[in-house]
Amino acid sequence: MKKPALNNMARLPLILLCFFLLSAAKGQSSLSDEIIFRIQVKVSKQQQTISGLDDVTVIQTEQGSYTYFSGSFKTYKEADEYKSKLKSKGFSDAFVATFRGKTKISVADYQKIVSKNPEAPKEAAASADSVTKSDGTPVDSTIQRPDSVENNSFEKDESAVDVSANLVKKILEESSCPTLVKDAEALYNNGSYEECLALLDKGFKDCGFSRREKEDAWVLRAKVNIEKDKVPDVQQALVRLLRINPNYKPLEGAYQEDFYSYFSKIKVRPLLSTGIFAGPALPVFKTLKTYSVFDSVNYSSPYRSLPGNQEGIFFELAFMKNISITSAFSYTSYAYKRHLERGTVYFLDYKELLHYWTVPAYLKFFFTCKKINPYFIAGGSYSKLLKSTAELSLQYTSQDALTGIIDEFTSGASGIDQKPYRVNFYTSILFGAGCSYRIKNFLFSAETSYSLGRNNIMNPDAEIRNTDLIYKFYYIDNAVKIDLVTTKISVAYILHYQVKKTK
């Protein structure tokens, strides 16, 4: 048996229900597509309270940061006027942000929405006298605006189209190298992020930016990418900034809060430096074996050290955090003297001056502090004898066996070449401590080290052939080694830095 068909009266409630649902969906679509303008005032990693503003809307991005907006306007003109008031209150980074429903869009996207409406008439753009480029030049307003729209989905805003068209198109067409960075900043303030980045890319490619312009450009790229929530691009921009100027310090309160947060995570440390040093050097002589000519003379008398000096150049490579390797080339000179006597009949004073080329190499282990960085050093050195000259004076008495008369005699010599009787090379173990202080690209250090000599500096085989000293003055050297205490001041210039982002 067939079911009876529904009559027209039975269908009416169903038709009314469908009509109601379609109308509600259309209204909801209209509401969700409505174009509004808000003023973006700040972006931060942590949620904060914005003082000085009553009407604040907070939107959390997918990356977890918080964006703060104030006001809600249906026309760009109203929003721009409110933005000016906020800037006068100290919100220097405030700019107009465009929303379609709950979605933030750029002014360029708004233009695309306007241009796709086939029902709107084509009109000439209104006057944009209030819009100027960064150099103060008025922007030409002869550009024809594409079709605008008037329907229930969003409201037409001529001022938004005019401002965007003039700022974006004319700046991109007419910006030149001398004002390019400032023009890009004008695009940033207008919320035209992609156009700002495109203009900066053009400048890096075609313009020979000065160092300051490069700094400003990378700062601007970082600010733009913070707004776009592109963290890797922010970090890359800050790394490039610090490679140009490793001593860059952002002004407090001049940028978004996230700028300072990301900036603090970029670590900069000196990698390669070179400098000069100078300071006193005091030898410490240690006798290994005693030789004698007269049994009655005490040839074990100590070697008395005379202070000398050390100066040279060095290179330092910080190959690891808090650890560096230093290699130097220095000139070192010092002296010693001896006094030998036998009763009241023999007095000899001997003095020798030695000159060396020294090549030390050692590691520095730093303890990082805020300003002054202490460190320990450990390594070794290799020394080559350049010159060794001596002088001596002898006083002795002689008594005539027949008459008993005592005669006094004096004798001496200077400029005696002792290099043939010395070891030409010797090595040392080096350790010590110091501290350094950095001012921009300069490192100032004070350091004390102790070099522990490892071998005898005298040549025993050659010493016995030194007949002039042995037979004329009855002098011979002992087998000795030299330790060296040095204190030096150094000034270094940093040639290269390591710039690295941390997690």
Domain containing residue 429: CATH number:
2.40.160.20
Average pLDDT in the 45-69 region? Answer: 76
Residue 30: per-residue pLDDT: 46
Average pLDDT in the 208-217 region? Answer: 93
Q: Cα–Cα distance between 170 and 188 in angstroms, integer? A: 15
**Structure confidence by residue, pLDDT tens digits, 137-151:** 443 333 333 333 333
Degrees, nearest 5: CA angle 204-44-497 = 45
**Within-domain flag for 492:** yes
Dihedral angle sign, alpha carbons of residues 55, 59, 65, 71: negative
> If pLDDT is split at 50, 70 and 90, which confidence band does 162 have?
low
**Within-domain flag for 393:** yes
**Within-domain flag for 298:** yes
> If pLDDT is split at 50, 70 and 90, which confidence band does 17 have?
low
Q: Under a CB-based contact definition with an 8 Å cutoff, are residues 148 and 170 in contact?
A: no
* The amino acid at 255: Y
Element containing residue 348 per DSSP (H, E): strand 346-366
Residue 283 has φ and ψ, to the nearest 5°, of -80, 150
Strands 442-453 and 479-501, bridge-based pairing: antiparallel
Total domain count, the chain: 1
pLDDT score of 441 more than 90: yes
Instruction: Find the domain containing 315 and state its range.
Output: 268-501
pTM of the model as a whole:
0.67
**Within-domain flag for 462:** yes
* Residue with more model confidence, 197 or 190: 197
**Within-domain flag for 74:** no
**Within-domain flag for 243:** no
**Within-domain flag for 366:** yes
**Structure confidence by residue, pLDDT tens digits, 234-248:** 999 999 999 999 999
SS3 content of the chain, % helix, strand, coil (to 5): 30, 40, 30
> If pLDDT is split at 50, 70 and 90, which confidence band does 405 have?
confident
